[in-house]
Structure 1
């Protein structure tokens, strides 16, 4: 699968590195606002031997429309920003390019826009695209069904500079139908990301914990999504849509 990447922050860099080392997929390009890396490619940047083009392109020198026309891809993986979808969404959907968004926070406006794009293209969104956290979400829902009146607390830990409440924690709260004040936030040092769901029963507790040891987990999750979207028809998909077949007994 030919892949284009939007976003080259900490998570975007990890995703690019994972794709470059995967022989089944090709990182065609990385699109950025700045043109500082335009003379290099991703394999050179990381020091990874790869046959992937992995070229850097800047919006200052090449429009999205020109990029998608001159350097076609099968899928776009987005680790940019909340507003990034407006940069490429319409053009990608028009060309039936699969859109894989890993943006942690979207307003209702962006979610509505994603659904609009899904009328033409295959659109996937996961606030946390790691496979492990999405398994936790599934397991937490089953436990809540067994004990609907159980006490629930959510703890999320991230690196010191992360702003706002974790989108994943908010997602957990929504799925389990608990109020946002049940989310406990910790910011310290260089923690990559940790989420814990505590189920308080009389005389016992159950804790479901997921911890990202490396941001490479985002890359593995993004490729898992890409591979499971290959034969999907246009529409809006979440991670649970991809996991559901595995939970059928």
Structure 2
């Protein structure tokens, strides 16, 4: 009788473990989330998204890209990927999309999520994708490089980058810009990860940095599952709940 009770208890525990694993997979929390920022900013802009994802049970890591060269940023991102114990949902914003496109071929990466981000093809760089803007398209207010680094015109930063961010925070972002290296801007993709990984793309329809038509072109070319959301280029800062929901949907739909 005692042996039978032990066997039943063991079976019950196994069923409970299987149910818990199934629940985690259904929610997507059997994946780790790695967040990659873009140019002119650092990883702190992900704080709102990070807080929501953590509350919902995800392992979350934020990469602090040096933004000096694409090669260096890919190395930093791959180090973050290799630190995970679960399959990785790799998320990139803006130039961070180029970083995840190059680093996302790592075997630990299960899927890519682009948040109004660049998704270059083989041989393309951010510089190439932005070199011939369509007539009437918004043009980022980048000032001439100094010592090999770029910055945005502080007076035009808010309107172009962070129009829907709280004014005090948007001004802080303008004044705390991180220099963006020309080697990062010109870094070309060798093997686009979106050709071998499922991808998602959130189009920010009020973006004044990456034209909406360019976002849609890149998403379509990558075969990404796409959603539109009204928001500025800094939508990940201004609307973290919407961005976190999009990332979680990608995680739950990735098998």
* TM-score, L = length of structure 2: 0.40
Rg larger for: 2
Q: Which has the higher strand share?
A: 1
Q: Which has the higher helix share?
A: 2
